[in-house]
Each structure stands twice: as C-alpha cells, then as structure tokens.
Structure 1
Amino acid sequence: MDYDQLKTFLVVTELNSFTKAAAFLHITQSTVTSRIAKLEEFYSVRLFDRNNRDLRLSSKGLELLPFMQQQLNLYEKTKQIATQHTHSQELKIAVTQSTWNSFPVRRVLSLHEKIPNLHVQITTDHSPAIIQHVLDGRIDYGIVFNLPRAKAIRAWHLGRHHYALYRHTDVNIDADFDLASLQNERYIKVSWGIPFQKWLEKHGIQHHKSPLEVSHGNLAKQIIIEQKGMGFLPQESVVNEPSLVEVPLGVEWAYQDYYAICLKNHPETTVYQTMNHFLNEGKVKGEIENIDH
C-alpha cells in the first residue's frame, strides 16, 4: 500500500467513477483499476461493489474509508513537515545601501558548503528599518550603521566607513577651497547620520542647504558623476572610479562604524549556528569585534 493507491481510492470514492477519477488524477483508467486492485489485494477484501451502471463502496470499503482518510492525512502531513524543514534552511539578511560594497557576500554564500540546501535572501534598507525588522523577526541578520541600543540585539563590529569629499574631474576648485565653500558649488547632500552631522557642525557647517539631497550613497555617486558635481562619499565606494577625485581639505575625515546584528534569543537552528560561527571566526581573526551591551 502506498500514497498513490490511497489517494486513488479516496478520489474514486468521492467521484463514484473510475473514469472520472482517472481524468481528475491525470492518469489512465487502467492505472486506477490497477491501484484499486493492489489495495484490495493488500487488505484481502473487495472495496467496491461494481455493476454496469453503478459503483459504490462495499461494506468493508465503507468501514475502512475513515481509516484510509486518516492514513492519507498522515502521509500529507509528514510530507509537509519534510518540505518545511527543507525550506526552513533560509538566511534573510538586510544591508544598508552604503555597506553593500563592504558586505562579505562571497563568504556568506560559502555557507552553502556546510548547508547545501541553504537559501540566502539579501535585501537593502535604511539602518532604523533593518534594526526594527531584526527585532520583529522578519530578517535574521542585519548590517547597520551605529550600535543599536536594544538589549535584545547581539552585535559584531564589522568595520568603519570614512567619508571624504569627492568632486567630478570636470569640477575646478580654488586653491583655498574649504568646507564653507560648498555653498558655492554643485554640492550633492547625503544624510550620513548623526556622527557625520556632528562632524560637519564641528567644522562650522550646521544647516547648509544643498540644491539636491538624496537618500543613499550609490545614488549620490551616480548623480555626482552624471551632473559633474561634488559630495561626501564613503572612500570604499569610490575605488576604481576614475571620474571622481578626492578634495584635500587638511582635516580628519568623518567616519561611521557598521555592525552585523541579530536577536540574542534566536532559535538555535543550523543556519544561526553556522552564521554565528562565521562572525565569531572573523572576530578571532581580528576581522570582527564582538560587542556586548
């Protein structure tokens, strides 16, 4: 007795026809007949009473019907559990647009060597939204700027972005150019967060308004290149970009730390254990710093 035989028996019972059951299951009528015959052989009983015009369950078939339905339900339930287990091997990660270039995608994808059926989903968002999604359980890990204050979150220090002022090569500036001169240039503004804003204020730029303000660095870089302007960008994002040059100002550039985060009390699944091992391994090698709230 197997799943197909049980399924066929129950469909025949519902439709009262071998022909209709064959059409419903997309098999031949001879296959339906064969499956029912094997079930009858297994139970050593006749399951249906047949005549030229009518098909109905025998007394034994009627008696066995609820138990066969239970067996089919168990088959389908165990199959569902097995499928859920396979699909549960997922790793959902959200990163900010600006940390994308620094995100160790290759190393994360190498987790497939330890978890062959792992499905990795990577999305981008702003740090506050990513932190909230981690707290809500909508994503497993986030890569965010600044250390979250939530005690429920575990964090690893991944690195630091330094922000320098870049201009398009077609933009000429005076020899005495300084930060105050930005108001006279095609300055593309990006809100890099509180640490960056404090750095601007430290250097005398508090409420400077730019003709154009954008929400993330990749877009700012694209606009600076296309519109031949200038703006602050992470140094890591401007590598191998010949049309952009750094504007020397003789000051220490602003910086911002970024972190990998997850819930402290997450389920101890293979995915979490492997990902945490990956992060802790980086910590041991000096690549990552573990943070305790």
Structure 2
Amino acid sequence: MDYEQLKTFLTVADVKSFTKAAELLHITQSTVTSRIQAVENFYGKQLLTRSKRGIKLAEIGTELLPYLQRQMELWNKSLRMVSEHHAALRTITIATTYSLWRGTMVQIIRDLQSSSFSLRLETDHSPIIVEKVLDGTIDAGFVYNKPVSPNIVSIHVLNDTYRLYGHKHFAGTDLENILELPRLPWIYMNWGHHFEKWLKEEIGSDLFKPLIEVGHSELEMKLIEEMEGVGFLPDEMVDRTRTDLVPLTVGSQKPIPAQNVYFIYKKSRGQEEAIQTVVEKLRNNGKLNI
C-alpha cells in the first residue's frame, strides 16, 4: 500500500463516493477503484461496502480508520521534514486543547516566536495530543493532567483556577448547596480529570445532568451569556471589566481543585535544538515550574 492508495481510501471513506473522490483528487474513477482494491488486497479484507445507497465503511474498515488516518499524518509529517531539510527555518508543531486556547496560552505561544524555527499550531483533545507526541506526528503539546508514559517528559507550566460564573441575571445569587446546580441552566465543560472527579463527588452521578455539555471554552462562555445560564470557567478567562458575567459563591464540601497544565514532548527528542529552544524560552519567561 502506497501513499496515493492510502490517500484515496481516506478520501472515499470521508465523502462516501468514488465519483466525488475522483473529482477531489483529479483522477479517474477507475483509478479510484484500482487504488481501493489495492488497499483491500493489502489487508486481505473488504474495508468498504457498496450498495444502491452508496458507499460505507465495513466493520473492520471502521476499526482501521483511525490508524490509517494516523498513518497518513505520519506520512505527511515525513514529507514536511524532507521539504524543510534545506529550508531556512524548521517548523515545530505544537498542539494544545480547545479549552486552553485563550489568555495565558496565547501569550505563551507569542513568547515562543523564534528566529530559528517557525510554529505550526494544532488543536485536539489531551489523550490524542499525548498519542501524537509519542508517535511523532507532532513535536510537543500543552495538556491537562500529567501523562503516565515514561517516554514523555512533562513540565508543569501553570495552574488553572476555577469559579462558578453566571449571567448578570444571577448577580447577588449564591448557591448555598452545590446540589442546586442541576436545577439551573447549567452549561458544563469538562476541565480535566480532577475537576470532573470533584464535581461528580459533590453532586453525585445521578444528579450530574447539565443542560448542555460543550467541548470548547469560548462556546461555554457564549452559551452562558446567550442562555442566561451558569457554568464553571477559569478565572483568568473572565475579563474583570465585563458586566455580563458575575462570579457566584457555591457551597461545596471541598474547594474546586486547580488544574495543572503541562508542556510535554517525547523523551528521546529532548536533545533536539527546537525542543531545547522552546523549553529555554518557557524557562526564561518564568512559565516553567521545575
């Protein structure tokens, strides 16, 4: 199985059509067919099912898809490395979570600007970022929770602290008991393992029923504003000059835990100039807690 065959298979899996895939890849439909057959012959399994309703992944194709997508990412990564070999600047790819793209993290990225390399930024979930660091798809990342892998170097960068915020409609309203939270228009975002564990222990799994659960911090804030709701937000994310969000006191058995943020990279790459430069810049700017 070669690069073009894999690329064609992933395109067909995405658009669910040989014809559309041929148009997108600027090749003939017969070429698409032959490349798909080559991929299926490589695995000795039918990965796509064809019917009058169209094309869909077979069960084994669905299981293989994320691995093939990662393989394509690695292929593209290797092609970029070769193309950049003689370039004036090397590109370093850094990923972080959706919820971290704000205030402090944006400033950290600004601080990382360098004359010796350029930055490529990606966004993903923490577990995926860890996997990509391990397989080399990306060079480094910023994640919540310290990875347990012995092959990853984790450096504590900062602490996020949280508070319950609500629409200005809730000004002067306090929750004497956190069990009242599910009765409100609660917009929930998972701010990491320790936060989720704390919250479920406080209100119980049976009452853990937010109005809406989101995966992006800016969306949570927007929904709190638009739906006149409440939700937990990082303190540094909420501009104190804003009048549309107000902090709410909430009674709980334990205080809201702070969330650690780590800069991570693969241990075997620690001597690379780009990684060392990033670590040194973070240290010089007072961002590393070593």
Q: TM-score range by the shorter chain?
A: 0.5 to 0.7
- Relative to structure 1, is the Cα distance of residues 83 and 198 closer, same or farther in structure 2, using a 3 angstrom cutoff? closer
SS in 2 for 1:192: coil
State yes or no: 1:107 paired with 2:108. Answer: no
Structure 2 equivalent of residue 131 of structure 1: 130
State yes or no: 1:226 paired with 2:230. Answer: no
Matches for 1:243-258 after TM superposition, within 5 Å: 243-249=244-250, 252-258=255-261
Indicate conservation of the 8 Å contact 2:177/2:251, yes or no.
no
Over the aligned positions, Cα root-mean-square deviation in angstroms equals: 2.5
Indicate conservation of the 8 Å contact 1:200/1:206, yes or no.
no
Taking the aligned partners of 2:141 and 2:174, their CA distance within structure 1 comes to 42
- Relative to structure 1, is the Cα distance of residues 273 and 174 closer, same or farther in structure 2, using a 3 angstrom cutoff? closer
Q: Which structure would you say has the larger Rg? A: 1
Taking the aligned partners of 1:83 and 1:176, their CA distance within structure 2 comes to 56
Matches for 1:48-67 after TM superposition, within 5 Å: none
Taking the aligned partners of 1:83 and 1:96, their CA distance within structure 2 comes to 26
| Deviation per residue, 1:59-82 (Å, 9 max, x gap) | xxxxxxxxxxxxxxxxxxxxx989
| Deviation per residue, 1:127-167 (Å, 9 max, x gap) | 11111111111111100001000111011100111121100
Taking the aligned partners of 2:224 and 2:199, their CA distance within structure 1 comes to 20
Matches for 1:1-293 after TM superposition, within 5 Å: 84-86=85-87, 89-101=90-102, 102-103=104-105, 104-109=108-113, 111-112=114-115, 115=116, 118-171=117-170, 174=173, 177-207=176-206, 208-240=208-240, 241-249=242-250, 252-266=255-269, 268-282=271-285, 285=286, 287-290=287-290
Indicate conservation of the 8 Å contact 1:153/1:262, yes or no.
yes
Query: Cα offset for 1:273?
Result: 2.7
SS in 2 for 1:271: helix
Indicate conservation of the 8 Å contact 1:94/1:125, yes or no.
yes
Indicate conservation of the 8 Å contact 1:98/1:234, yes or no.
no
SS in 1 for 2:147: coil
How many residue pairs were aligned? 203
- Relative to structure 1, is the Cα distance of residues 198 and 82 closer, same or farther in structure 2, using a 3 angstrom cutoff? closer
Q: Which amino acid aligns with 1:237?
A: M
SS in 1 for 2:170: coil
Structure 2 equivalent of residue 49 of structure 1: none
Structure 2 equivalent of residue 48 of structure 1: none
Taking the aligned partners of 1:83 and 1:250, their CA distance within structure 2 comes to 55
Q: Which runs of 5 or more residues in structure 2 are unaligned? A: 1-80
TM norm structure 2: 0.63
Indicate conservation of the 8 Å contact 2:91/2:118, yes or no.
yes
Indicate conservation of the 8 Å contact 1:156/1:279, yes or no.
no
| Deviation per residue, 1:201-244 (Å, 9 max, x gap) | 34334341112111122211111111111111111111243311
TM norm structure 1: 0.63
- Relative to structure 1, is the Cα distance of residues 133 and 227 closer, same or farther in structure 2, using a 3 angstrom cutoff? same
Q: Which amino acid aligns with 1:100?
A: W
- Relative to structure 1, is the Cα distance of residues 276 and 172 closer, same or farther in structure 2, using a 3 angstrom cutoff? closer
Return 164-173 or 135-144, whichever deviates more. Answer: 164-173
- Relative to structure 1, is the Cα distance of residues 155 and 223 closer, same or farther in structure 2, using a 3 angstrom cutoff? same
| Deviation per residue, 1:167-194 (Å, 9 max, x gap) | 0002367555431111221101112232
SS in 1 for 2:101: helix
Q: Which amino acid aligns with 1:281?
A: N
